[in-house]
Structure 1
Amino acid sequence: MLQFSVFRAHLTHSRARLLSPQANPVNFDEYCQQKAAPPGSSTYYALRQAPVARQPLLTALFALRREFEETVKETTDPTIGRTKLAWWQKEAAALAAGEPTHPVSQALAAHLPDVQAEYPALQGIIAGFEMDLDQARYLDYPNLRRYMAGVGGTFASVVARATAHEPSQAASWAAPLGEALMLAQIVVELGNDARHGRIYIPIDEMQRFNVTAADLINRKYTDAFTEMMRFQTARARDAIRKALDALPVGERHSQSTLRALAALALALLDEIERDGYHVLHQRIALTPIRKLWVAWRAARKH
C-alpha cells in the first residue's frame, strides 16, 4: 500500500510537470529536454528515475544522440546527411576544445565533468550513425553488430559512465545493454524504417525465413513474417535480460535510467508479441501511465 502511495505521489508530480507552462526563455537545458525527452516519451520517464543532479547531463546526452539520429534518418539526400554529420564532427571537436556553439554541446560543456575524456566516444557514436548513410541493409548479424556497437553500445557506455560508481569499468557491462536495446528498437521501428528505405534485419536471416524487403515495404503479413518476428523479438528480449543480469550489483542503483529503458523495451516487446507483430503499418506503443509505472518500478528493483 505504501509503495502505491509513493507511486501515486510521483504520478501527481509528473502530471504537474506535464501541465506547467515554460515560464523562462528556452535555454540549452530546455532545448535538450524538448529534443530528447518530450513529455510522455519513454526517455522522459526513464530520465526521471536518475538522480536529480544528473538529469541535465543525461538529458543532454540523449539529446545529442537524437540530433545524430535525425541527421541521418530524416535526411533524404545522403550528401546533405554527410555534410551535417561532418559539422557535428567539428562541433564535437569544438566541445572538446571548450568552444561549443550548439545548445546540446553547450549543455554538455556545462554538465559533463571531463569532456575531453568522452571525445573519442562521441566520435565513435557519430561514426556509427554515419553507417546509416553508407548502407541501408546488413548482410548478416556480425555486420549488424558493428552498427549496433557504435550507435547503441558506445552510447550506453557514455550514459553509464555519467552515473557509475566505477566509470572505468562501465563499458564492459553497459555496451551489451546498449546493443540489446538497439535490437528491441529494430523490432519496434521495423515498419517505419522500411518505409524510409532502411531494413536492419540481416539479409541472411530474412532469406532463412523466406521474407523479402518488398514484403516489409508493402506491409505484407504472412506466417513467415510472424516466425521471423518471433525470432527477432526473442533475441532482443534475451539480450536485454542477459545484459541486465550482467550489471554489477554495486552499479544497479546507479543505472536507474538504463534499467528503466530496458524494462520499457521488454514491456513493449511483450505488447508487440501480444498484438501479433503487426508493426509494419503502425507503431505500437505503451500508454504514458504504463511507461511511468514500468520505469518507476524498474528503477526501484534490486
Structure 2
Amino acid sequence: MSSRDLDRAGITDPEMRASYERCRELNAQHGKTYYLATLLLPPAKRPYVHALYGFARYADEIVDDLASTLSDEQKADWLRSWGEQFFADLRRGASDDPVCKAVVDTVQRWDIPVEHFEAFLHSMTMDLTITEYATYDDLYEYVYGSAAVIGLQMVPILEPSAPEAYERAKDLGVAFQLANFVRDVGEDLDRGRVYLPLDDLARFGVTRADLEKRMLTPSIRSALEFQIARVRALEEESRAGIALLHPSSQPCIEAARILYCGIVDAVEEIDYEVFTRRATVSQRRRLAVALPAWNQARRARRKYGEGHPHGLHSPASA
C-alpha cells in the first residue's frame, strides 16, 4: 500500500500502518479481482477495504492451512479462541494482533456492526464439519456469513444514500460466492465438499456420487446452467444498490460485479468442463473493464469528492 493511501486515510501510527499493510498484502495475495477493484476507490478508502478483506482471507486461509496438522475439532477450537480474542479486542477498542489491529480500527471508524463478524466466523466453523447442503436455504446460512456479510461490512465505507444499498450488497456478495461454487466444483470435491445444493442437483437427476465421478454429463451441465442462472438473477438485483453508493465508490463495485460475476461467463466459455479446467477471467477482459472504470473513478472524485476520508469516527490513537 502506498504511504499516500495511509496518509489520506489519516492513519499515522507506525504499528497501525503496518497492520493495514499486512491486510493489503493478504488481499493482494488471495483476492486478485477484489484487490484490482479496490484500487478504483479513493485512496483514503482503500486501507479500510483492505482491512476487511484481509481479515476474511486470513481466517479462511488459516483454517485451510491447519488442515494437514490439526483435526476438525482442534481447528474449531483454534478458530473459536482466535474469534474470542478478536471480539474481546473489539470491546476494548484495540488489538495487538498484526491483522486484527487494523480491523478493529476500521470497525470503530465506520461503525460496522459486530454481528457481521460473528456471522462470518460462524460460517468458517461450518466449513470444518459440513461437507454438503441439502437445500439452497441450508447453503444460504453458510453463504450469508462467508460472503453476504462482507458486502454488509463494506457498505458504510462506500457511503450509501439509502438503506436499500445493504440488501443489494447482500445479493452481490451471494452472487460472488455462488459463482465461485460453480467454478470450483472439482477443487471443492478435492476438499471433500459440495456447495451445490443437493435438491437442486436432484431436479436434474444428479447425485453427489455423479459429481465425484468427475465426468461432465448432460445432466450435470443442466444443473450448472441452473446455478449460473441464479448467479445472474442475484447480480441483476444487486445493480440497483450500486447506484445508491457514493459516486466515488460506484466504479469499484461495478468493476467487481462485472469481473467476479464474469466467472460464470468463463465457465460457459470452457463448455462447463469444471472437473478438468479452471474457468478464469482473462487478463484482456480485466483490463477492458478496469481501464474505463479507472477513468470513471477519477471523474467521479473530481466532480463529487471522496466522501468521508477518515471514517465516520476517527480514533485519536490512529
Listed as ranges, the matches of 1:35-114 within 5 Å are: 35-38=26-29, 41-76=32-67, 77-96=71-90, 97-114=92-109
1:61 shift after superposition: 0.6
Cα distance change on mapping 1:59 and 1:292 into 2, 3 Å: farther
* Distance of 1:119 and 1:53 partners within structure 2: 23
Aligned counterpart, 1:290 = 285
Question: Is the contact between residue 184 and residue 236 of structure 1 (CA under 8 Å) also seen in structure 2?
Answer: yes
3-state SS, counterpart of residue 265 of structure 2:
helix
Greater shift in the superposed pair: 165-174 or 282-291: 165-174
Cα distance change on mapping 1:257 and 1:78 into 2, 3 Å: farther
Question: Is the contact between residue 49 and residue 296 of structure 1 (CA under 8 Å) also seen in structure 2?
Answer: no
Match of 2:196 among 198, 201, 209: 201
Aligned counterpart, 2:205 = 210
Please provide the CA RMSD for this pair. Answer: 2.6
Cα distance change on mapping 1:166 and 1:102 into 2, 3 Å: farther
1:39 shift after superposition: 9.1
Query: Normalised by the size of structure 2, how large is the TM-score?
Result: 0.78
Q: What amino acid maps onto 2:127 in structure 1?
A: D
Match of 1:28 among 16, 19, 30: 19
Cα distance change on mapping 1:69 and 1:296 into 2, 3 Å: farther
Unaligned runs of 5+ in 1: 1-25
3-state SS, counterpart of residue 138 of structure 1:
coil
Q: What amino acid maps onto 1:95 in structure 2?
A: D
Cα distance change on mapping 1:43 and 1:270 into 2, 3 Å: same
3-state SS, counterpart of residue 214 of structure 2:
coil
Match of 1:224 among 219, 223, 229: 219
Q: Tell me the alpha carbon deviations over residues 140-189 of structure 1, each in whole angstroms, 9 at most, x when there is no partner.
A: 11111111112111111101222214486642221122112111111122
1:130 shift after superposition: 1.7
* Distance of 1:296 and 1:51 partners within structure 2: 15
1:202 shift after superposition: 0.6
* Distance of 1:291 and 1:80 partners within structure 2: 40
* Distance of 1:190 and 1:109 partners within structure 2: 35
Unaligned runs of 5+ in 2: 1-16, 301-318
1:214 shift after superposition: 2.9
Listed as ranges, the matches of 1:149-228 within 5 Å are: 149-166=144-161, 170-228=165-223
Greater shift in the superposed pair: 265-274 or 135-144: 265-274
Match of 1:278 among 257, 273, 298: 273
* Distance of 2:34 and 2:212 partners within structure 1: 28
* Distance of 2:283 and 2:192 partners within structure 1: 29
3-state SS, counterpart of residue 45 of structure 2:
helix
Q: What amino acid maps onto 2:26 in structure 1?
A: K
Question: Is the contact between residue 264 and residue 295 of structure 1 (CA under 8 Å) also seen in structure 2?
Answer: no
* Distance of 1:167 and 1:161 partners within structure 2: 11
Cα distance change on mapping 1:117 and 1:221 into 2, 3 Å: closer
Q: What amino acid maps onto 1:232 in structure 2?
A: Q
Quick one: higher RCO (CA 8 Å, sep 6+), 1 or 2? 2
Q: What amino acid maps onto 2:240 in structure 1?
A: D
Q: What amino acid maps onto 2:252 in structure 1?
A: T
Say whether 1:134 aligns with 2:129: yes
How many residues align? The count is 277
